[in-house]
Amino acid sequence: MDIMQLTQPLPDLAAWTAHFRAAEIPVLLQSAKAVEQLRLIEDEVDANLIGETVSGDPLMTLRVLTYSAAHRPSRMLTDPETVTAAVVMMGIAPFFRAFCPLPTVEERLQNQPQTLEGLRDVLRRAHRAANFALGFAVRRMDHDAAVIHHAALLHDFSEMLLWCHAPELALRIRSAQQSDPTLRSSTIQRDVLNVTLPELQQSLMHAWRLPELLTRITDDRHAEHPSAKSVVLAIRVARHTAKGWDNAALPDDIRDVAALLNISESATQQVLYELDT
């Protein structure tokens, strides 16, 4: 079921959580088309191919993981932590029954070019952050590299949902940030929404019963854990380099990534460049 776009803030975290739980999660048009193409050759498709096909779309990733958590067989003690694992749990044919056809972002936000561009900014940042986080995890030989990739990809999903379902409020937040870059994001979000986006995100992840590891390493409050630190630093680098590599905050990011990877700062800078190409 889908619901109308919000134009006014909801009163509190419980109301926002209930609203987004009831709202449909649209996906990128390219993901919807790719899944439909795979459906046509269903007998030749496996879970890895599906996972690889949609791995760059945080909204499709979120849609699959929330569906999988809601439909987990009672005999399973833990939820699948990646799209590939979720498809293995579901089976190929049931996956296509559940995810064809798919609602798209482009259809939902047609005739709203400013909103679509705002969402695409967040999606680009998420994609770059996921690349950085996966690169950090691989260099650290972290066994949870795939989950770390998903966590970075999903780190700002509440902002993505805001652009989809409450674009006027998302635009108001962006306008306030552009007017005064010194204002803290949390302050602006609370002023406009009555909640912060990280609060809403954690509330939704718990309400959807998403996997514990994914929920934990997406939460910046656990940033001292090495897996969570990979995600937090990847998000920081992606934010600070969104418009180029000359941001004043970048030297601190490079220092912290160097400490995480246990390499020199000059080597770290080279690693970041390579991961971003």
Average pLDDT, the chain: 94
Residue 75 has pLDDT above 90, yes or no: no
pLDDT category, 72, cuts 50, 70, 90?
confident
pLDDT category, 4, cuts 50, 70, 90?
confident
pLDDT at 66: 96
For 154-206, write each residue's pLDDT tens digit: 999 999 999 999 999 999 999 999 999 888 999 999 999 999 999 999 999 99
For 6-56, write each residue's pLDDT tens digit: 999 999 999 999 999 999 999 999 999 999 999 999 999 999 999 999 988
Percent of all residues in the chain with a pLDDT value above 70, rounded to a whole number: 99
One-character DSSP codes across the chain: ---PPP-S--SSHHHHHHHHHHS---B-HHHHHHHHHHHHTGGG--HHHHHHHHTT-HHHHHHHHHHHHHT--TT-SS---SHHHHHHHH-HHHHHHHHSS--BHHHHTTT-HHHHHHHHHHHHHHHHHHHHHHHHHHHTT-TTHHHHHHHHHHTTHHHHHHHHH-HHHHHHHHHHHHH-TTS-HHHHHHHHHSS-HHHHHHHHHHHTT--HHHHHHT-GGGTTSHHHHHHHHHHHHHHHTTT-S--TTHHHHHHHHHHHHTS-HHHHHHHHHHHT-
Domains of the chain in start order, with CATH, are 24-105 (no CATH), 111-275 (1.10.3210.10)
Percent of all residues in the chain with a pLDDT value above 90, rounded to a whole number: 87
For 136-149, write each residue's pLDDT tens digit: 999 999 999 999 99
pLDDT at 2: 57
Q: Taking residues 77-100, what's their average pLDDT?
A: 92
pLDDT category, 3, cuts 50, 70, 90?
low
pLDDT at 224: 78
pLDDT category, 102, cuts 50, 70, 90?
very high
pLDDT category, 74, cuts 50, 70, 90?
confident
Residue 222 has pLDDT above 70, yes or no: yes
Residue 223 has pLDDT above 80, yes or no: no
Whether the model clears a pTM of 0.95, i.e. scores above it, the answer is: no
Residue 135 has pLDDT above 60, yes or no: yes
